């Protein structure tokens, strides 16, 4: 049972309870958390979704709509600019969320901020820049603003009952629920919003292409929008990496990512790159910071200086280059490592009829056409009622024309003022509204000329009324009106697109590889996992290798700096690196500990190293159970820069040995039972699967296992055929007396 404790009743709390009807107001109760979420949090979440973060079909959030409507009512559509502080103050009559939030909204809508492809606020003063993180806007007392001319398309018919009006938050005035926009503004500007449990991210499209596409959809709903509107258009320009299939998916679902690259020019005279257009999702400071970070990390070595040279002419980031640097190759590298190439994530989530829905481009435009059709219908209905009322008055005036003197006599001979209208109604057979209109005509207008001029309007009104009634009964006529309005918008405000398209087929797929200096090096790898890279000169001048106690060098190579390294571990994994990743060393140091350098797992040890560039040849793995796996080295090559590959070899049986074979050769397998098998690796079929269990090679007897694998030395066996097998697996053979004696002789010679 819920425990309730009543607070002290006061007149104030009683009045509040009576006026607002809040359930359980003035009481403290124990409540389940699930009930709290449903009763308290869900209304808040719905308020954020419906009243703040998600735009509606007219293209505006409530904060945008309140601000623009306030500016319209202030006469700022055609008048002079006024201080922004005045606008902010007036807007608080509709938007109670504080002056700072209102001013930030106006800044984003302004031309000076350059956040919108089609701005709605004509600004004067410092409104900051959307492409700059640190360029802050001035206080509202210093800046001025008015509405842009394009706002005529928002408010030209707002007073004709085209949209519904509701009370503001304190019921002292009215505000529109939507704006009767004459073009699809929902797709004309970027619009981002984060609600509770959902978000909206709408990119901007070129206004001319957008209106043309809408016209084509009105004419044919099967029209493919991508034919007339191939891609979004961003206020900051840039270049879209264009993939037709991906773009069609975004148009169909309203979700997806659009990759945008910065634009640049190369100045030969000063050997520098000037970046003048950047993706809409980043800022100049973020780009500069990332480039500096990459330069400090050593991954970019061609840059000597970078600075922000943005001025009144617009954005400009200048990068000074080292002598001989290829600017195009450097930019390819910067695209991959910095926000100079970034993705705009699309999520066309829009409120329609009070419900949030994710639309594709075509569906969204069809919804807008439906919305605009309702606006046109309501506007025509409003004009029709006005015309009918005017015609009704003129019909009464027409009857007065029959005898003006009689009308004057009726008015003059009526003793009571209240009887004038009834007497006119009786005298001419007109209704009260017509009689009121006649009674209010000035004496100077009671002449034949004035009345005849008014009566000429009757014929025009009757034609206009018939035309409007036809419009209301014909969807085709309404669609024709919308098309006409869209064509007018194209003529007045249409511009060429700012963002270019770069088709993927035109992009060089080759990675912008860093130019790695290539020079001879000697590589050394020890049993304990230490690695050294030493130049030949340093090796000749150095002394003995410094090693840890009980450590020894197991592998050494003479190669060059521009090669790849594969480190196989005792946990069936392989780690990839480059020789150039390691600094030149000396024999007198221990070297770099590979498990630490390559961030191996705890307790994981490197047991074998392969040096390669073209990933040719094979890896061979020999297991205690006598099986052998032959894997093509190309299986370890990756197109991406992955540093770690799991399942590098099978874990079904303990590993005895592994070899890298640039080409096939003969090897000897030995078991703990003293048997040997001479095998030519060419008879073993290679596999592409890295963790293959392999094939049976040598037959292992019970309680025995494969113990060693080594290269075959020509002449070490008196009769090599004794240890060869026609088919695998084979048991091999024990050493003959001759081979035992020969082995002992070799051993004795080694001690002499």
What size, in residues, is the chain?
752
Q: Quickly tell me which residue has 């918008």 as its tokens.
A: 489
C-alpha to C-alpha distance for 161 and 380, rounded to whole angstroms: 10
Partners of 356 in the β-ladder = 351
CA 276 to CA 310: how far, in whole Å? 9
Chain position carrying tokens 């770690």: 644
Q: How would DSSP label each residue in 199-216? A: EEEE----HHHHHHHHHH
Helix (H, G, I), strand (E, B) or coil at 488: helix
HEC string of 301-327?
A: CCEEEEEECCECCECCEEEEECCCCCH
Name the token pair of 404: 């003006």
Q: Are 302 and 319 in contact (CB under 8 A)?
A: no
The distance of Cα 67 from the centroid of its chain, to the nearest Å, equals 28
H helix runs in 92-168, sequence order: 99-109, 152-155
Check: CB of residue 490 under 8 Å from CB of residue 204: no
For residue 314, cis peptide bond before it (omega within 30 degrees of 0) = no
Quote the CA–CA distance of 104 and 101 in Å, as a whole number: 5
Report d(CA 213, CA 220) in Å as an integer.
Answer: 10
Taking the alpha carbons at both ends of the chain, their separation in whole angstroms is: 99
Q: How many CB atoms lie within 10 A of CB 111?
A: 17
Tokens (6 digits) for 651? 């874990």
Instruction: Give the separation between CA 406 and CA 262, rounded to whole angstroms.
Output: 82
How large is the C-alpha radius of gyration of the chain?
42
DSSP of 503-571 = EGGGS--S---------EEEEEEETTSEEEEE-HHHHHH--SPP--TT--EEEEEEEESS-EEEEEETT
SS3 73: helix
Q: Under DSSP, is residue 585 helix (H, G, I), strand (E, B) or coil?
A: coil
The CA distance from 284 to 289, in Å, is: 9
For residues 591 and 583, the answer to whether their CB atoms sit within 8 Å is: no
Tell me the C-alpha to C-alpha distance, in Å, between residue 353 and each of 178, 350, 368, 479.
Answer: 11, 10, 12, 21
Which run of H or of E encompasses 367? helix 361-400
142 catalytic? Reply is yes
How many Å apart are CA 423 and CA 426, to the nearest integer? Answer: 5
Distance of CA 218 to the CA centre of its chain: 30
Closest C-alpha among 619, 325, 376, 589 to residue 478: 376
Out of 69, 103, 137, 142, pick the active-site residue.
Answer: 142
Helices 432-439 and 420-428, interaxial angle, to 10°?
A: 110
The continuous run of DSSP H or E covering 69 comes out as helix 62-73
Residues belonging to the active site: 142
């Amino acid at each position: 049972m819920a425990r309730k404790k009543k607070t002290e009743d006061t007149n104030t709390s009683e009045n509040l309870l009576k006026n607002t009807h809040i359930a359980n107001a003035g009481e403290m109760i124990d409540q389940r958390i699930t009930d709290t979420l449903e009763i308290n949090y869900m209304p808040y979440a719905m308020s954020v979704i419906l009243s703040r973060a998600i735009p509606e079909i007219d293209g505006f959030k409530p904060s945008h709509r309140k601000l623009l409507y306030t500016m319209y009512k202030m006469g700022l559509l055609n008048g002079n600019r006024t201080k922004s502080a005045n606008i902010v103050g007036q807007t608080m009559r509709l938007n109670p969320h504080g002056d700072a939030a209102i001013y930030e909204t106006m800044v984003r809508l302004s031309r000076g901020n350059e956040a919108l492809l089609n701005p709605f606020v004509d600004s004067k003063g410092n409104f900051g820049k959307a492409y700059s993180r640190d360029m802050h806007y001035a206080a509202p007392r210093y800046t001025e603003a008015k509405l842009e001319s394009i706002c005529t398309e928002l408010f030209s018919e707002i007073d004709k009952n085209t949209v519904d009006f509701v009370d503001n938050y304190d019921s002292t005035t009215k505000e529109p629920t939507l704006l009767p926009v004459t073009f699809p503004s929902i797709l004309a500007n970027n619009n981002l919003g984060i609600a509770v449990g959902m978000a909206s991210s709408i990119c901007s499209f070129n206004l001319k292409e957008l209106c043309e596409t809408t016209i084509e959809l009105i004419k044919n709903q099967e029209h493919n929008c991508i034919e007339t509107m191939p891609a979004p258009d961003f206020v900051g320009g840039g270049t879209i990496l264009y993939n037709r299939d991906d773009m069609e998916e975004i148009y169909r679902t309203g979700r997806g990512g659009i990759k945008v690259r910065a634009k640049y020019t190369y100045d030969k005279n000063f050997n520098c790159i000037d970046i003048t257009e950047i993706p809409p999702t980043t800022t100049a400071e973020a780009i500069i910071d990332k480039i500096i970070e990459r330069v400090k990390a050593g991954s970019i070595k061609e840059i000597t200086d970078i600075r922000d040279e943005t001025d009144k002419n617009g954005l400009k980031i200048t990068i000074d280059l080292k002598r001989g640097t290829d600017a195009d190759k450097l930019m390819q590298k910067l695209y991959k490592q910095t926000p100079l190439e970034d993705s705009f994530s699309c999520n066309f989530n829009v409120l329609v009829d009070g419900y949030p829905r994710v639309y594709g481009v075509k569906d969204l435009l069809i919804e807008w056409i439906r919305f605009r059709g309702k606006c046109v219908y309501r506007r025509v209905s409003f004009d029709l009622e006005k015309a009918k009322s005017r015609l009704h008055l003129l019909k009464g005036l027409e009857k007065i024309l029959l005898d003006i003197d009689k009308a004057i006599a009726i008015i003059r001979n009526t003793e009571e003022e209240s009887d004038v209208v009834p007497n006119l109604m009786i005298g001419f057979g007109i209704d009260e509204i017509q009689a009121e209109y006649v009674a209010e005509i000035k004496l100077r207008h009671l002449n034949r000329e004035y009345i005849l001029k008014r009566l000429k309007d009757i014929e025009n009104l009757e034609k206009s009324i018939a035309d409007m009634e036809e419009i209301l009964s014909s969807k085709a006529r309404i669609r024709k009106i919308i098309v006409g309005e869209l064509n007018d918008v194209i003529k007045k405000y249409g511009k060429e697109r700012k963002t270019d398209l770069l088709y993927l087929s035109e992009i060089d797929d080759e990675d912008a590889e860093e130019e790695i200096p290539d020079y001879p090096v000697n590589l050394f790898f020890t049993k304990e996992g230490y690695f050294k890279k030493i130049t030949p000169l340093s090796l000749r001048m150095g002394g003995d290798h410094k090693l840890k106690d009980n450590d020894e060098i197991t592998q050494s190579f003479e190669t060059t700096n521009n090669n790849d390294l594969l480190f196989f571990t005792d946990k069936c994994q392989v780690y990839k690196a480059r020789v150039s990743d390691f600094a030149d060393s000396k024999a007198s140091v221990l070297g770099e500990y590979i498990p630490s350098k390559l961030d191996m797992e705890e307790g994981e040890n490197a047991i074998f190293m392969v040096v390669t560039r073209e990933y040719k040849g094979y890896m061979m793995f020999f297991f205690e159970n006598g099986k052998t796996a032959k894997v093509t080295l190309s299986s370890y090559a990756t197109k991406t820069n992955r540093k770690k590959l799991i399942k590098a070899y099978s874990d079904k049986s303990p590993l005895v040995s592994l070899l890298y074979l640039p080409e096939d050769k003969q090897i000897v397998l030995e078991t703990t039972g003293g048997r040997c098998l001479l095998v030519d690796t060419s008879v073993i079929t290679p596999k592409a699967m890295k963790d293959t269990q392999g094939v049976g090679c040598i037959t292992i007897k019970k309680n025995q296992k494969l113990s060693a694998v080594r290269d075959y030395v020509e002449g070490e066996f008196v009769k090599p055929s004794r240890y060869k097998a026609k088919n695998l697996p084979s048991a091999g053979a024990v050493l003959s007396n001759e081979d035992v004696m020969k082995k002992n002789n070799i051993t004795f010679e080694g001690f002499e």
